[in-house]
Chains A and B, each alone.
Chain A
């Protein structure tokens, strides 16, 4: 098992190197660079462009150098010094921007994930065990509505309801007085009073999808003979279902965790913009639009690292859950 983990971790290295190269070059693909984008926007607003100032900026950031050199500067900074470079847009170190947003994104994402699991899990099992019952049809109906409604629309509706009914502005995660305040219980409570809207918005589609997955997994397992065999040993129906088919139905569920990690960062961008959430999605979009290549590149690197870690975690969880996979791994 340990050998398997080490092998998987070692495999991640070439994958990440490849990803870093590809993402760096793709970000550079659009014609021009940050300075030309800056120049264009300055011209558009009627400001005069000082060519000599541009020249110094260009030299400082090394934008004139060949791409290989630029890439090397960027990647060696990350690997050797943990330095992700400077954001052109914010004139701040990228790592500051990243960590600031990542913390909140994680809080939001984990809260919504737990929300989704708490709701989807029991409903999915119920819909499978009571297949074609009224409850199943109602849940299926609600689930499909949740799947079909775009998240930003739910966000707008909830914002409207929150404002008209509760008299509360729904944007952001904090009230204005806590925005720059250090962390305290009051700030935490303030966040908790606001977080439910994005959690519900981000959660609905996920909940609906997960209910369907759970239901389908359970329906695959419920007719298996081993369920009857367990009942033939005197187990009650409910006990037999939760002990056996539910365990087996968890497998496809767990393998999804791998994709959820990167989705935490890149997902729900539109929702985050609508709700003006201080999460990573809007920042990534902004960086890409402005060709702020170090910021964007670092984000994409983060995404790839999380994808690799996520896949590794779900593989390990699967091996832990399913002896058939574990045997294949060791043998």
Chain B
């Protein structure tokens, strides 16, 4: 495993220019194509984007769980578990290697969108939970069970000892997702990747799960990468936000800046599309015109230009935008932006 010195000791995960392409019979789908972001230790980063923006594919790339015909074709995923500044580039490891398996599970845990699908239909919760416990601690059967039941209790599942021996289909949707969280947390990971964990749940259950993740985070100090398309969820839990569009992070900022002073027109448009309680009666909900383009028909230049309300002909469709650092910790990929220092000098 190659060790790379890191620049920022507070960063747990630094993703640079990550690219996952799917080599299908119809052609190459660039699902993630140069995504970059950082996650500081102990913080929550929300990855936001419409369906097809590559959020989940990116999460899988970080986990080393990219499925064929997909492949991580470029970029780096620097994992720096300790503050000594040493990092491992996960993108260079084989997904099924021993080194990756030592990280996946005990270091980085993941929960999925559909808890029912993520649970085996023919194994008990306990069987699956035990794997997680043992990935971190080599303990006896009895202790594995005790720790597993403890993990279920910690995520607020009533009668955890009975639930331990039950099957996924015997639990309610919310309880299933709690069980999934218990499985991820039983290994005491430093980073929890949550791929739309509340999308399949009803609103009250959703709130309960979000509160649980926040509580567990303040209790254990773990870092969370939360993938969602729900800006309401972002406002509730995020420290910082990465907005994805067609496989790229188009804006990266702390949560207040993202909501109140977005730099990228796409982020602006997303926020305008939120229903507001102050809206006048009869006013129509703003929508972003057009659709997310088909991955084979990626627009030239800035990929968002056909839907952009600030589209400038002759500029936006000709050049690909670079990441522009508009303020410290705030960057956006838009050709209309000027870097912070240059803007101040002018």
A interface residue numbers (CB < 8 A to B):
223-226, 228-237, 243-244, 247-248, 321-324, 327
Chain A proximity of B281: nearest CB distance (Å): 43
23 A-B contacts, Cβ less than 8 Å apart? A223-B67, A228-B118, A229-B112, A229-B180, A230-B120, A230-B128, A232-B63, A233-B109, A233-B128, A233-B131, A233-B183, A233-B184, A234-B101, A234-B102, A234-B131, A235-B105, A235-B131, A236-B101, A237-B96, A244-B123, A322-B122, A323-B122, A323-B124
Q: Are B110 and A232 in contact (CB under 8 A)?
A: yes
Chain A proximity of B298: nearest CB distance (Å): 26
CA distance in complex: A174, B121 (Å) = 48
In the bound complex, residues from chain A placing their C-beta under 8 Å from that of B104 are: 231-232, 234
CA distance in complex: A230, B128 (Å) = 7
In the bound complex, residues from chain B placing their C-beta under 8 Å from that of A225 are: 112-114, 117-118
In the bound complex, residues from chain A placing their C-beta under 8 Å from that of B132 are: 233-234
Chain B proximity of A84: nearest CB distance (Å): 43
Q: Using an 8 Å CB-CB cutoff, how does the interface string of B73-104 with A read, 1 for contact, 0 for none?
A: 00000000000000000000001100001101
CA distance in complex: A234, B102 (Å) = 7
In the bound complex, residues from chain A placing their C-beta under 8 Å from that of B109 are: 232-233
Q: Are A228 and B112 in contact (CB under 8 A)?
A: yes
Residue B259 CB within 8 A of the other chain:
no
Chain A proximity of B169: nearest CB distance (Å): 6
CA distance in complex: A232, B135 (Å) = 10
CA distance in complex: A294, B167 (Å) = 51
CA distance in complex: A322, B184 (Å) = 25
Which chain B residues in 152-186 approach chain A with CB under 8 Å? 167, 169-170, 180, 183-184
Residue B119 CB within 8 A of the other chain:
yes
Q: Using an 8 Å CB-CB cutoff, how does the interface string of B48-75 with A read, 1 for contact, 0 for none?
A: 0000000000001001010100000000
CA distance in complex: A232, B113 (Å) = 14
CA distance in complex: A225, B113 (Å) = 9
Q: Are B119 and A234 in contact (CB under 8 A)?
A: no
Give the residue name and chain of the A residue nearest to B129 (CB).
A233
Residue in B102, B105, B170 whose beta carbon sits within 8 Å of that of A327 in the complex: B170
Q: Are A321 and B128 in contact (CB under 8 A)?
A: no
In the bound complex, residues from chain B placing their C-beta under 8 Å from that of A231 are: 65, 104
CA distance in complex: A230, B132 (Å) = 9
